[in-house]
A and B are shown apart, each in its own frame.
Chain A
Amino acid sequence: MHAHNTQQEWEDYRQRELRAAIPILEKLGFELESEQPHTGGERFLMAGARDVGGGGYKLVLLGTRRADGKRVVIKISSDKEGIREICTERKARETLQTLKFAYQMLRAPEEVLYATHGAHIIFITAYVEQEQAFLSRPIAEQFSLALQAFKAQESVHATAYSHARAIRTVFGIWGVQEYLDSFDAFCAAAAGNDSQDRALAQSLAKARAFIVEHRDTIEQYCGFLTHADFVPHNLRVHEGNVYLLDSASLHFGNKYEGWARFLNFMLLYNRPLERTLLQYVHDNRTPEEELSLRLIRIYKLGKLLEYHTGALSKTAGNLNTLSKKRVEFWREVLESLIDDRPLSQEVITRYQRERDSLRSVEEKKRQEALH
């Protein structure tokens, strides 16, 4: 019943918001494309699921500007939290352009329109065409593009009093205590979502103890600009340049948070790239940095486990079975990281097979559009 409610709630919101959005967008000179891959599939599970940048109901739509046929990405919301997230993203983009202590400029899609219309907030940016999807590029190119984006983020390091003053109100500034508090919240939520899973509770307790043991190493590399959700669907590549999407996920935190999210993702989607990036860190960075990356990967897995245990009560049928498989799989990944041993490829392949057989057609379509 609860599963049905969550999905139905999203469906109702989507229909309501779309009905209201279409005339507003028309008045502003935009029309929607017939295919809207970002509103379907498992999207209903994601509202409020962010650890950085807020999170609420909003629609991400693809459209065109009538005047010149320019393709655009439209974010629209009338939901309080959704509005807050869109505002945060806009402020983050604006502030980034003014940071005097940034050594490199981060690229973001051009802003086309930012407006409020009644209860709605609308934020429209140019759609960055890419010659090829990130994951279908040769691995050497994926490596070099990812590294380019990581280095651009790392070049923004807020260390001085004046830096902190300039960014505190726009971006969050996270130190080890914020990461620990957040991890504790993941653990509590995961325990609440699935109180029967003792193995998960034990793994999370082990992970927390490991993070606490090395808290100084996390703190040491804090103060850097990092994209908390740095995955292929949040970056676009055009003419060799990386454009970062979803600026609401940018904050000042551990230098390796973006790396950690990316590597956890690549463990599943492109393992050779994950191994290559790890080798790069090993060869070129300090041992403390290598440990910091491992710690933040563990932290990020806490978030992922919270998310997937949260899906258990919101889903039914195949998606519910898939959520259970996801919890099992990511718990195994967590254990392997704590023990600092590579996860067996067999575990990954088995999970991928199960996932593909349980995913809905609509979700498969959404995934294709994302990556």
Chain B
Amino acid sequence: MRIVLATPLYPPEIAEPGPYIKELAKRLVKLHKVTIVAYARLPEKVPGVHIVAVDKRQPLLRRLISFFFALLHAAREADIIYAMNGASVELPVALLSLFMSRPLIIRIGDTAAHERARSGWLRSIERSAFARAHRVITDGPAPRPEILPFEAFPAEKLGAYERSWEEHLRMLEDLFTHARS
């Protein structure tokens, strides 16, 4: 499958959904062709994954337009678009659906952005994107436990983390397959 991941945040940005998208790409690329379209400047690389970075330091309108065209280009060959919530991604994906029909799944990974979209124009943008999505999900894997020097190695927590990713990937694979059919 050819998957496009669209995200407002990406490492070195430490806030979610940045680390989630990087980890997801690392895992998906073992079986699929993955492209990330992200607001970033010098994104952390993932072997085998094509990353299209849209510089956040541009003025708002210019970066929205850049992101839209980057997404449009990436989506041409995509089987599925998996987008993270946030107005800066929701607006381009909603616009994109006017030009091409690609299955869209949206994940609410940035709860603060979702909270901000309770009223006003942010709400309209979010609603418009959600209305065009095949599914809107909130599921996610467990956060990666830290390995801390003065504590026991978190073997159990790391095991649970791995299992949560396996489960999450299974759910996504089903969702992507279902969305395409």
Contacts and interface: CB of A to CB of B under 8 A. Distances in A.
Nearest to B15: A103
Contacts of A280: 147-149
B58 A161 contact: yes
16 contacts: A103-B15, A159-B13, A159-B39, A159-B40, A159-B56, A160-B56, A161-B58, A161-B60, A216-B42, A219-B41, A219-B42, A220-B41, A279-B149, A280-B149, A283-B146, A286-B44
Contacts of B12: 157, 220-221, 255, 289
A159 B150 contact: no
A298 B94 CA distance: 47
A370 to B, nearest CB: 26
A15 interface: no
A164 B44 CA distance: 21
A221 B44 CA distance: 10
A154 B149 contact: no
Interface in B135-164: 146-150
Contact of B14 (A157, A162, A220): A157
B168 interface: no
Closest 7 CB pairs of A and B: A140-B150, A220-B42, A283-B147, A159-B56, A160-B56, A276-B149, A161-B59
Contacts of B149: 140, 143, 276, 279-280
Contacts of A160: 56-57
A161 B60 CA distance: 7
Given A103-B15, A143-B149, A220-B12, A159 B44 contact: no
Nearest to B57: A161
A288 interface: yes
A255 B15 CA distance: 14
Interface string B9-41: 001111100000000000000000000000111
Contacts of B2: none
Contacts of B42: 216, 219-220
Given A139-B150, A140-B149, A279-B149, 17 more contacts: A157-B12, A159-B56, A159-B57, A160-B56, A161-B56, A161-B58, A161-B60, A161-B63, A162-B60, A164-B57, A216-B42, A219-B42, A220-B12, A221-B12, A280-B148, A283-B146, A289-B12
Contacts of A98: none
A21 B77 CA distance: 72
Interface of B: 11-15, 39-42, 44, 56-60, 63, 146-150
A284 B15 contact: no
Contacts of B11: 286
Given A103-B15, A220-B12, A159 B147 contact: no
Interface of A: 103, 139-140, 143-144, 154-155, 157, 159-162, 164, 216, 219-221, 255, 276, 279-280, 283-284, 286, 288-289
A154 B147 contact: no
Contacts of B148: 280
B146 A220 contact: no
Nearest to B144: A284
A162 B40 CA distance: 15
B44 A220 contact: yes
A103 B147 CA distance: 22
Contacts of B44: 220, 286, 288
Nearest to A162: B60
A338 B58 CA distance: 35
Contacts of A143: 149-150
Contacts of A139: 150
Nearest to A277: B149
A327 B86 CA distance: 52
A151 to B, nearest CB: 9
A255 B60 CA distance: 25
Nearest to B150: A140
A43 B59 CA distance: 45
B89 to A, nearest CB: 14
A164 B11 CA distance: 18
Given A216-B42, A220-B44, A284 B147 contact: yes
A154 B58 contact: no
B11 to A, nearest CB: 7
A155 B112 CA distance: 15
A286 B11 CA distance: 10
Contacts of B39: 159
A233 to B, nearest CB: 24
A11 B89 CA distance: 60
A289 B42 CA distance: 13
